[in-house]
Structure 1
């Protein structure tokens, strides 16, 4: 076997190495695209109708769970005797209310919640977390209630529980538990402020049921509180689902291109060896001709 034959066999090996790297890179890039498609379908379904149904399901489940957490927080401090004593400036009772509020907020985990105990006159007695002060009319409820409130802290789900005296229907105070849902986002189109609720799949525009437009042509869906009473109407902004799908596709394409470019960079070494080998063969050919 001549030296030229050895060089040729070495060159063919280098060609195969380059081909393997390029083909493997292309296959990996295709796999990334396929995985991105799977993620898109699992997150949004096959159609926008399926995606909208998934978003609605998420919102209903999240609000129901948050509402029950707030109810449990309020129940933990629903002790009429302690509240009445605190309203009478009993230092021990006030200290116990603050301790109980801190414990209730801590038991909620990492949720952005807060708790406030009010007297019958609507004065805050004890609180914990990033609490907001509610107007007196929001505290005057015959029974427990949930509502949305917008303020400096953002969009909040609020649960108010009246505390009744043990010897009759007389109210001795109220407990307000709240959870931050989202910040308000300004609508640059008309200068108004929309209430926006972000989910893991898409953003929603929400409108408290008291101001929501009802009727057969109303968009979106109504979300109920834990008692089954309408709480707010939610709707998807135009193009929201298409934009969310496009974001997933762009990410998968970017990753696929990154994989392909990495494969091509890995192939540069064998390509350089291939070119070097080709240059040596030309040198041998000129030597023989000479």
Structure 2
């Protein structure tokens, strides 16, 4: 194994995917994933997440660009890549009449060096469902089975496409704990998810796709730091927005007022909050319903999607 493969087990450069009719779903995507890292691909429906992941899994050949998984082309060198990877699709499509244990044993027969099926079923919380037919499982239980089968080969790289869809809160948390344990054992995990809390909690790094391109990438903290934090409160009785310290001095980049409620946006949260509270103390007033918080990944995601859409609209208008 060379040093490059040791450091980056997934490398994507200017990746493109075109469907029939000329629709370009992936438009020059580039990113890399380190060994033992959880990397999340986020984006609205149609952003290109699943199209990108299918190219990484070797299910289709790129229309352009380059992709390497464990140092190999996953499409042209599938035999070298597939035994070392696990794939959890959005829908497994397993025979409905087989039991959970029968399904796991059948799948284990197709996997090189498979782990004991019952042990893996226990990892995902299906130890008590081994005799139940697949058609009798709930949607969340089927997702657990999908995950179990992806883990049977003890993969070095694990692809998870919407892994917690259909799970209740407890099942989602259990899955998060399992993903963390896999990462801690050295498994590289690439996941797509619509749950931004999931990405914020699990991902070491992430990329946000919009219209087939990467609109933002980095750690969750880096991505959210690019968006303004907010301070909300109610104006004291008898006071108006103009009675506050000048917003420019507070480092405020934008604001909204609705009745007595004020929302300030700032990239200098501590500075703005400190000076606002000093002013309130000196004025002898209380800022009711005060809420001071950094941007969440959800706010960053919505802001990035909005900015990307506005930029695309501007370019289209200019053309």
TM-score bin (small chain): under 0.3
Higher relative contact order (CA 8 A, sep 6+): 1
More helix by share: 1
Return the index of the structure with the highest Cα Rg: 1
